[in-house]
Structure 1
Amino acid sequence: MEPQHLRDLYDRQLRLGARPDGPGSRVERAGPVVRATGPAHAWNGVLWSGLARDSPDAGTDAVIAAQIGHYRAAGVPFEWKLYGHDTPVRLGERLLAAGFTAEDPETLMAAEAAALPGDVPLPEGVTLRAVTDAAGVRQVVEVHERAFGTDGSALGRHLLDKLAADPGTVTAVVALAGGEPVSAARMELYPGTDFAGLWGGGTVEGWRGRGLYRALVAHRARVAAERGHRYVQVDAADTSRPILARLGFSALTTTTPYTYDPR
């Protein structure tokens, strides 16, 4: 499928047709936007905005203000997930003017799951373990905090919620070296769609550059194909984009998180 057609399919299925990503979360259409609202540890934010390409600043600002008011009432910080092809073209400027903070842009990439390498050799002494319980979740959180230097408690709660309520919609895996977790990643499966999302791939310092990231991508893509999802998608940072391109992923568009804490 051509990248633009694949991007359009992604928009229809995962943005306009988004579903709640965990217990206590809901997705709703509010005027021109589709937004997700849930507990503080869940993902909260705007997934889609159907503003016209030539929408006046005043109209755009009113829609933005309505979302700030909504999440202020909910008492949670939120993200406006802005894609490179979204309209109006000055939407990012209006978000910044309203007090949002732009995080680093990423590249939305996708590939046919069955076409990706099925097996990437692991370094000697490294094994993969499927995460199915609290002990495994703690290992994922440990890798996340060591690899990225950020608090992984919200990730841990999200995984525990998903594993308890709907384990068929998430799969996580950790790479162990001598019993020590050194790399981990998860995959969100979106029932009724062609897509599975690859998230959170991280490797601790000292184990980078040894193929673990590629091995975890291959493992998750194989699981996605086995479960009937044709495509896997990634919001790729600059560091992972070249690796994914070599594996066969195509760039569809860019995505920039604009974050706001109304509390």
Structure 2
Amino acid sequence: MTPDELLRAYDEHLREEGELHNALSAERHGPVLWAEFPWGGFVTYRDLGGLEGAALDGLIAGTVAHFRDDTGLDRFEWKTRGHDAPADLGERLVSAGLVAEEVETVMIGEAAALATAVEVPGVVVRRAGEGGVLREDLSRMLAMQDEVFGRGRGPGVDDALDELADGNAEYWLAEVEGEVVSAGRLNVVPGTGFAGIWGGSTLPGWRGRGIYRALVAARAASALERGVRWIHSDCTAMSRPILERSGLLAVTTTTPYVWTR
């Protein structure tokens, strides 16, 4: 598939309902869906239906009012993509009080291209709960991710257990002498042939040794066993070269705009 074909598949399968499998609730408002997760609110859409100018400002204001006045959530994220219209969407979100976070690249490619075995001496890569107690594994890996990303940016242990219950998610960790040094998760999107690799994080002192690449390969191999063809990921500038060398293609960018109380 060409990058344009992959982008069309991304818009069709991995936006709206494709992002809401673990949402506590979701409500449509015009072209967007307002969703609630344990970690906060989320705004998703396939496109904005041509809204621009004052009409778009009204939608943004209504979204802010909804999460501010109708929920007890402390934050919500409006996830934009680089190919979204109109071009001034980000500026309008900032004017409404949202803050832009780091731009990431959306990468898509064949799971088989990633699923080549990577051995890193002294490092054990395994699925959480296999070779250990699931709750303890999750607690240790999520604590490590809080150290990398900042506390409160990801799920808690109970949230992760709930996510695992439907069978479409896997949590993976890499250990050195029992210490979790890298972690990430795999989320299969049912009925699409896609799975996402998310939350990839490595402690600063362990970067540049191939551990992240080994963690990606293990998740891709597991995805292949589950019948997944395509892997997608929102990646930072640090991880993009690793995925590109494995054959994944950049199809667009994504920027989260976040509102907090």
Calculate the TM-score normalised by the size of structure 2: 0.90
**Within-5 A mapping of 1:51-62:** 51-53=48-50, 55-62=51-58
The one-letter code matched in structure 2 to 1:68 is: V
Return closer, same or farther for 1:31/1:153 CA change in 2, 3 Å cut-off: closer
Task: Tell me the distance in 2 between the aligned counterparts of 1:216 and 1:224.
Answer: 12
Q: CA deviation at 1:27?
A: 3.1
- Shift of the 105–32 alpha-carbon distance from structure 1 to 2, 3 Å rule, reads same
Residues 189-236 of structure 1: per-residue CA shift (max 9 Å, x gap): 111112111111111132211100000111111111111221111111
Alignment of 1:85-104 (within 5 A): 85-104=83-102
8 Å Cα contact 2:186/2:198 also seen in 1: yes
Q: Distance in 2 between matches of 1:2 and 1:118?
A: 23
Structure 1 residues 18-57: Cα deviation after superposition (integer angstroms, max 9, x where no partner): 35332x6123432111332233x2x52112163244x341
Q: Residue 190 of structure 1 corresponds to which residue in structure 2?
A: 189
Letter in 1 for 2:25: R
Task: Report the alpha carbon displacement of residue 188 of structure 1 after superposing the two structures with TM.
Answer: 1.3
Summarize deviations over 1:95-129 as a string: whole Å, max 9, x none: 0111110001100001110232421112x222122
Question: Is residue 2:217 matched to residue 1:256?
Answer: no
Q: CA RMSD in A?
A: 1.9
Gap runs ≥5 in structure 1: none
- 1:126 is matched with which residue? 123
Task: State the SS of the aligned residue for 1:80.
Answer: strand
For residue 13 of structure 1, report the CA deviation from its aligned partner.
1.0
Q: 1:153 to 1:192 in 2, by over 3 A?
A: closer
**Structure 2 counterparts to residues 165-184 of structure 1, below 5 A:** 165-166=165-166, 168-184=167-183
Q: 2:59 aligns with which of 63, 68, 71?
A: 63
Report the alpha carbon displacement of residue 152 of structure 1 after superposing the two structures with TM.
6.0
What residue in structure 1 maps to residue 213 of structure 2? 214
Instruction: Give the letter aligned to residue 50 of structure 1.
Output: D
In the alignment, which residue of structure 2 is the partner of 1:17? 17
Higher mean displacement: 195-204 or 151-160: 151-160
Structure 2: give runs of 5+ residues left out of the alignment: none
Displacement of 1:94: 0.7
Separation in structure 2 between the aligned mates of residue 15 and residue 121 of structure 1, nearest angstrom: 34
Give 3-state SS (helix, strand or coil) of 2:28's partner.
strand
**Correspondence 1:37 to 2:36:** yes
| Conservation of the 8 A alpha-carbon contact between 2:125 and 2:218 | no
CA distance in structure 2 between the aligned counterparts of 1:50 and 1:197, rounded to whole angstroms: 21
Distance in 1 (CA, whole Å) between partners of 2:251 and 2:185 is: 21
Supply the AA of the counterpart residue of 1:9: A
Within a 5 Å distance, the mapping from 1:139-178 to structure 2 comes to 139-151=140-152, 154-163=155-164, 165-166=165-166, 168-178=167-177
> Counterpart of 2:231 in 1: which secondary structure?
strand
Structure 1 CA distance for aligned equivalents of residues 153 and 20 of structure 2: 21
Equivalent residue pairs, number: 255
CA distance, structure 2, for counterparts of residue 117 and residue 192 of structure 1? 21
Distance in structure 2 (CA, Å) of the matches to 1:125 and 1:21: 36
SS at match of 1:74: coil
- Aligned to 1:104, the other structure's residue is in SS state coil
CA contact under 8 A between 2:11 and 2:46: conserved in structure 1?
A: no
| Structure 1 stretches of at least 4 aligned residues deviating more than 4 Å after TM superposition | none
Give the alignment's TM-score, normalised by structure 1. Answer: 0.90
Aligned residues: percent identity?
Answer: 44
| Deviation for aligned residue 1:5 | 1.2
Deviation of 1:153 (Å) = 6.5
Question: Are residues 1:237 and 2:236 paired?
Answer: yes
